[in-house]
Amino acid sequence: MLWNLFQFMPKPFNEGFLPEQDGHKIYYVQYGNPNGIPVLSFHGGPGGCSRPKYAKLFDLKKYRFIQFDQRGCGLSEFENLLFANNTAHLINDAKRLLDFLNIHTQIIVHGCSWGSTMALLFAESYPKLVQKIVVHSVFLARLQDSAWITRDSERFYPDLWLEMRQQVNTPNILPAYEQLLFSENEADNLKALSYWGSYEYQLGQLNPQFETLTETTPEILNGTRIYLAYTKNNFFITDNQIPDNIAPIKNIPTLIVHNRMDFCCLVNQAWDLHQAMSNSHLIINPGYGHSTPQLLKVVKKALKDFL
């Protein structure tokens, strides 16, 4: 029987909110051993939320696994969704969380997809705090990486791009879908979520099809709005920022795992990161898809040796 990360989720031993800052109250949750080695995990997105399945990657008898919902995401609360909502503020929230939890020893940072971006940026900001790095389904957030999703992937999905353009009757789809996404009309929101909002999830599918949504949730809508805002602003970092600032962390032991046929985040990002780091171990899994159960199984197995 295929081992399944999605069964039997662990229960947290603690959860709560950071003190409000900039109108944002950050939700956090902890799993595992309260006295264990701290693991600070960053969720995907931008606009995603914490997921207990990632806690299951680690031996929770030995590790203290900490997640938090980034500004405007998941269970975090806000007065203004996009106010003071950028990458620098997220990194600062992560450091505030460690201080709030009285964690002053070195930690392991973990992240998948956008979470890998955040884990690497945090490590570059606070290299002396980081003992080890674990990233999978790597996203380096360079212009070339985001251009794959917003432009270059059309070479594989011309039919979907035609459909997205036809829905808004313009070749320049991003401003059109942004207007729909931030409209006060629910029908407009649903149209944006059905097409532009779900395109990333079609990448890697052999028979991709848009599905017209009839309902959504505030969490999904707000998450997609955050994703668009970060995409428009080059994720609030400079191009090539992670590779350009790799020197302070290049010798930190790092585990990198990536599916070879990941059409959301291309495998060259994991390869480039591996080449830039002196003490990294790269596993290119012979699989397809982004953060799949099969990939997480490989990550969990690799972590036993790495840690």
pLDDT in tens, 125-135: 999 999 999 99
pLDDT value of position 151: 95
In total, the chain counts a number of residues equal to 307
Q: Is the pLDDT of residue 280 over 50?
A: yes
113 classed as catalytic = yes
State pLDDT tens for residues 152-165.
Answer: 999 999 999 999 99
Q: Which of 41, 50, 76, 113 is catalytic?
A: 113
The b/e string for 153-185 (b: 16+ C-beta within 10 A; e otherwise) is beeebeebbeebeebbeeeebeebbbebbbeee
Tell me, yes or no, if 188 is annotated catalytic. Answer: no
Whose structure tokens read 């020197």?
A: 247
Tokens representing residue 157 in the block: 């999905």
Distance (Å) of CA 3 to CA 8, 85, 284, 294, 297? 11, 37, 20, 9, 7
pLDDT at 275 over 50: yes
The pLDDT value given to residue 145: 97
Q: pLDDT band at 2, cuts 50/70/90?
A: very low
C-alpha dist (Å) from residue 107 to 63, 134, 186, 242, 252:
10, 11, 43, 20, 12
Q: Is the pLDDT of residue 83 over 60?
A: yes
What share of the chain in percent tops pLDDT 70?
Answer: 98
Helix (H, G, I), strand (E, B) or coil at 93: helix
Question: What pLDDT, on the 0 to 100 scale, is given for residue 1?
Answer: 36
Quick check: 106 pLDDT over 70? yes
Per-residue confidence band for 6, with pLDDT thresholds at 50, 70 and 90: low
Model pLDDT for residues 149-208, shown as the tens digit of each residue: 999 999 999 999 999 999 999 999 999 999 999 999 999 999 999 999 999 999 999 999
Cβ neighbours of residue 148 closer than 8 Å, sequence gap 6 or more: 266
How many C-beta neighbours within 10 Å does residue 80 have?
11
Q: How confident is the model at residue 4 (pLDDT cuts 50, 70, 90)?
A: low
Q: ω before 46 within 30° of 0 (cis)?
A: yes
pLDDT > 90: percent of the chain: 97
Catalytic residue chosen out of the listed positions 69, 93, 145, 262: 262
Q: What is the band of 226 on the pLDDT scale with cuts at 50, 70, 90?
A: very high
290 is catalytic: yes
- Residue 5 predicted with pLDDT over 80: no
| Residue 242 pLDDT exceeds 60 | yes
Give the confidence band of 8 by pLDDT, cuts at 50, 70, 90.
confident
This prediction has a pTM of 0.96
Could you count the other beta carbons within 10 Å of the beta carbon of residue 265?
28
**Domain residue ranges in the chain:** 14-141+238-306, 145-235
CATH architecture for segment(s) 14-141+238-306: 3-Layer(aba) Sandwich (3.40)
State the pLDDT confidence band at 54, using cuts at 50, 70 and 90.
Answer: very high
**Per-residue model confidence (pLDDT) at position 7:** 66
Residue labelled with tokens 């999830």: 201
